[in-house]
């Protein structure tokens, strides 16, 4: 199972095509739209998470490119709010990379961003919403620029998965 | 003739606390002391053992009185931040429960629901000094003509705010697995399918009722650490079930005793009560709770000296067995095994994840120890002990 976030840029010419629907029908992919700004007869951007067998994801992306949708991969940044975290350990049951782990015998819950792949699985299981997922800063600024046609003034968290 | 070699009374221990001479240790420290010195020596030396636990505890809530309006109101329905509160008590008294969701929460319509805000969060917001929106509606009477009250309030505006938790501090709890083919979302957290993960929820050797398994010192009136302030045990909790199977050391092998606890929210501390959202299940309140246990004799030294390796629980399937009330288990495991990060179920190694914070439990036990050593906190002998289920 392969899962990744992508930023799609549509143009006036392809924006009215049922492309996302085709990803499901033709390539058997699951998708989760995290943000979309699409208007008829204008350019548009969409942030979506695709999941399915790696081969299908690749074929699906190729299909999008055929219609001249520009596809960029999207890095995510996971952060832990240490004020909120009460060190329960629930998240360690979801994290498969070891980025969230328990230090024994103290039973302290350690977060190592180096090991984190940004899968986001820990976000919804944290009972106090201490784990935050946001988009990588460079993309974030870029996205702001697209949307408002001007450089972003401050850092904004574009999305949060849950 | 006394059956114990060491005998101390509450009054003697309190006198030692007052004189600044009491020897106070945490339950983790006591485990080592008893192992090293034996029960009698430990009882002679140690006066009080402090315990702690910090985890989601459903069956929590708060009684509050929001004061009268002009003209007066007899509130029939009450909301705090759009979380419905029970108002069928009196004119301006109500009770908000920790698991009550916010009025516009989609719940599990989009499964699994994230249940972001509920009664537990309201209590936390109040404790943290935040403003909360109060709405009350009424049908109007001659003595209470007002129909509607809407205003922002803080904890200071409430004329009383009594944390009153009918069931907290479960003595032991199940270890949850999921033998179905899909991930399940339960009050025991998210559990992977086909028995590939196991969740558990107890502070183990730090947990209050596991250090006084037969309720010999914890009863009505016991003064405790509650939400960073002082609270009291006011009854046995609902579902208090002391009669189940127990190990030789007296500790239960299944969920057993529970406590009802109360305390004035106004003297509690931010950080020790946290609204929690359990994906696909709902809201609740994580409660920080600690109980001091007097070492009255070597028997109590033995109880408080218990270690994770001597505390056991049952592995229960939450996909089918739990909801269909089938009493079946997939083995018995110790808290030492659970805390090691992996247990054996059906001959296979399964990773475990805790839901109860040992780090915070330890902090509570340490805080309580400090309070007692400084002479700020004295032990209260219970006016009545809890049912212990023994013949
Ligand atoms: S985002 Fe994924 S890899 Fe990173 S900490 Fe959370 S669960 Fe682990
Ligand atoms: S689940 Fe949340 S509160 Fe618990 S240890 Fe992980 S990040 Fe901290």
- Ligand that comes closest to the CA of residue A109: 2
Q: How many domains does chain A have?
A: 2
Residue A14 lies in a domain: yes
- Identify which ligand lies nearest to the alpha carbon of A118: 1
Which pLDDT value is given to residue A83? 94
Cβ contact B54–A94 (<8 Å): no
Q: Which of residues 76-115 of A touch B (CB under 8 A)?
A: 86-94, 102, 104-109
**Contact assignment for A127 to B55 by CB distance below 8 Å:** no
Residue with more model confidence, A161 or B203: B203
Confidence of residue A5 (pLDDT cuts 50, 70, 90): confident
Interface of B with A in 188-207 (CB under 8 A): 189-192, 197, 199
pLDDT digits (tens, 9 = 90+) for B39-85: 999 999 999 999 999 999 999 999 999 999 999 999 999 999 999 99
Q: Are residues A85 and A125 in the same domain?
A: yes
Let me know if residue A145 belongs to a domain.
Answer: no
A59 and A87: one domain?
A: no
pTM of the full predicted structure?
A: 0.84
Domain identity same for A94 and A117: yes
Low-confidence winner among A8-17, A53-62, B289-298 (lowest mean pLDDT): A8-17
More confident: B278 or A160:
B278
Predicted pLDDT at B52: 98
| One domain for residues A39 and A8 | yes
What's the CATH number where A70 sits?
A: 3.30.70.260
Check pLDDT > 70 for residue A142: no
Give the ipTM.
Answer: 0.93
Q: Mean pLDDT in each 10-residue stretch from start to end of chain B (391 residues)? A: 90 98 98 98 98 97 96 97 97 97 91 93 98 97 97 97 97 97 96 96 97 98 98 98 96 97 98 97 97 98 98 97 95 98 95 97 98 98 95 72
Nearest to A127 among B276, B339, B358 (CB): B276
Residue A91 resides in a domain: yes
Q: Does residue A15 share a domain with residue A65?
A: yes
Higher pLDDT, B27 or A7: B27
Q: Are residues A63 and A15 in the same domain?
A: yes
Q: Is residue A150 part of a domain?
A: no
A69: pLDDT strictly greater than 80: yes
- How far is the centre of ligand 1, averaged over its atoms, from the C-alpha of A93 (Å)? 11
Confidence (pLDDT) at A86: 97
**Domain end call among A74, A90, A111:** A74
3-state secondary structure chain B: CCCCCCCCCHHHHHHHHHCCCCCEEEHHHHHHHHHHHCHHHHHHHCCEEECCEEEECCCCEEEEECCCCCCCECCCEEEECCEEEECCCCCCEEEEECCCEECCCCHHHCCCCCCCCEHHHHHHHHHCCCCEEEEEECCCCCCCCECEEEEEECHHHCCEEEEEEEEECCCCCCEEECCCCCCEEECCEEECCCCCCEEECCCHHHCHHHCCCCCCCCEECCEEEECCEEEEEEEECCCCCCCCCECCCCCECCCCCCEEEEEEHHHCCCCCEEEEEECCCEEEEEEEEECEEECCCHHHHHHHCCCHHHCEEEEEECCCCCCCCCCCCCCEEEHHHHHHCEEEECCEEEEEEECCCHHHHHHHHHHHHHHHHCCCCCCCCCCEECCCCCC
Question: Do A10 and A67 sit in the same domain of this protein?
Answer: yes
The CATH number linked to A109 is: 3.30.70.20
Does A138 fall in a domain?
Answer: no
Residue A158 has pLDDT above 50, yes or no: no
In the numeric block, the tokens 């246990």 are attached to B293
- pLDDT at A152 (0 to 100): 37
Q: What is the pLDDT of residue A3?
A: 75
Query: Min CA distance, B355 vs chain A (Å)?
Result: 5
Pocket lining: A78 vs ligand 2, CB cutoff 6 Å:
no
Report how far ligand 1's centroid is from the alpha carbon of A123 (Å).
8
Mean pLDDT, chain A, integer: 80
Residues A83 and A69 grouped into a single domain: no
Q: Is residue A162 part of a domain?
A: no
Whether the CA torsion B177, B182, B183, B188 is positive or negative: it is negative
Domain region containing A94 = 78-131
Residue of chain A whose Cα is closest to the Cα of B283 = A127
The answer to whether residue A28 scores a pLDDT higher than 80 is yes
A94 CA closest ligand 1 atom index: 7
> Is B143 annotated in the active site?
yes
Residues A20 and A67 in one domain: yes
For residue A153, what pLDDT is reported?
A: 38
Q: Which has the higher per-residue pLDDT, A39 or B31?
A: B31
CA of A50 to the centre of ligand 2 (A): 26
Whether A154 is in a domain gets the answer no
Residues A98-141 pLDDT 10s: 999 999 999 999 999 888 877 889 999 999 999 988 765 544 44
β partners of residue A73: A6
**A63 and A51 in a common domain:** yes
- Judge whether B183 is closer than 8 Å to chain A, CB to CB: no
**Statement to judge: residues A69 and A10 lie in one domain:** yes
**pLDDT beyond 50 at A150:** no
Assess whether A53 and A88 both reside in one domain: no
Nearest CA in chain A to B187: A127
A152 domain residue, yes or no: no
Decide if B286 touches A, using CB distance below 8 A. yes
């Amino acid at each position: 199972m392969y899962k990744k976030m992508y930023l799609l840029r549509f143009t006036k010419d392809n924006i009215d095509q049922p492309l996302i629907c085709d990803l499901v029908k033709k390539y058997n992919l699951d998708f989760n739209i995290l943000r979309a700004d699409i208007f008829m007869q204008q350019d548009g951007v969409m942030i979506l998470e695709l999941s399915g067998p790696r081969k299908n994801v690749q074929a699906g992306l190729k299909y999008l490119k055929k219609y001249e949708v520009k596809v960029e991969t999207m890095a995510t940044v996971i952060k832990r709010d240490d004020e909120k975290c009460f060190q329960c350990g629930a998240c360690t049951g979801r994290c498969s990379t070891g980025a969230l782990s328990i230090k024994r015998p103290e039973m302290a819950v350690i977060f190592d961003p180096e090991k984190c792949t940004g899968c986001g699985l820990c976000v919804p299981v944290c009972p106090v919403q201490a784990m935050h997922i946001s988009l990588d800063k460079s993309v974030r600024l870029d996205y702001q620029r697209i949307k408002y046609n001007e450089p972003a003034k401050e850092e904004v968290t574009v999305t949060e998965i849950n | 003739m006394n059956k114990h070699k060491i005998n101390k009374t509450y009054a003697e221990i309190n006198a030692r606390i007052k004189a600044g001479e009491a020897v106070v240790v945490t339950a983790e420290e006591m485990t080592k002391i008893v192992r090293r010195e034996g029960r009698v020596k430990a009882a002679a030396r140690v006066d009080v053992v402090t315990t702690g636990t910090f985890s989601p505890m459903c069956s929590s809530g708060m009684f509050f009185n929001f004061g009268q309006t002009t003209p007066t109101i007899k509130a029939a329905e009450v909301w705090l931040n759009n979380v419905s509160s029970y108002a069928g008590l009196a004119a301006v008294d109500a009770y908000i429960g920790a698991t009550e969701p916010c009025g516009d929460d989609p719940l599990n319509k989009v499964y699994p629901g994230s249940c972001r805000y509920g009664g537990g969060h309201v209590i936390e917001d109040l404790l943290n000094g935040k403003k909360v929106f109060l709405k009350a509606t009424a049908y109007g009477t001659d003595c209470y003509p007002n129909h509607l009250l809407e205003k922002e309030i803080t904890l200071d505006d409430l004329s009383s705010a009594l944390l009153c938790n009918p069931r907290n501090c479960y003595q032991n709890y199940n270890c949850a697995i999921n033998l179905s083919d899909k991930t399940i979302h339960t009050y025991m957290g998210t559990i992977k399918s086909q028995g590939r993960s196991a969740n558990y929820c107890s502070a183990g050797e730090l947990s209050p009722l596991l250090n006084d398994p037969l309720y010999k010192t914890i009863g009505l009136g016991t003064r405790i650490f509650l939400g960073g302030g002082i609270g009291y045990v006011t009854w046995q909790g609902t579902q208090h079930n002391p009669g189940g199977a127990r190990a030789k050391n007296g500790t239960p092998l299944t969920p057993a005793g529970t406590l009802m606890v109360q305390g004035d929210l106004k003297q509690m501390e931010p950080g020790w009560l946290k609204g929690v959202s359990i994906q696909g299940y709902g809201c609740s309140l994580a409660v920080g709770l600690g109980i001091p246990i007097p070492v009255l004799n070597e028997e109590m030294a033995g109880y408080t000296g218990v270690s994770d390796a001597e505390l056991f629980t049952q592995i229960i399937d939450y996909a089918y067995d739990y909801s269909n009330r089938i009493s079946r288990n997939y083995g018995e495991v110790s808290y030492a095994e659970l805390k090691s990060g992996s247990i054996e179920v059906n001959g296979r190694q399964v990773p475990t994840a805790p839901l109860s914070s040992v780090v915070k439990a330890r902090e509570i036990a340490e805080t309580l120890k400090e309070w007692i050593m400084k002479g700020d906190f004295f032990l209260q002998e219970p006016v009545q002990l809890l049912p212990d289920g023994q013949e």
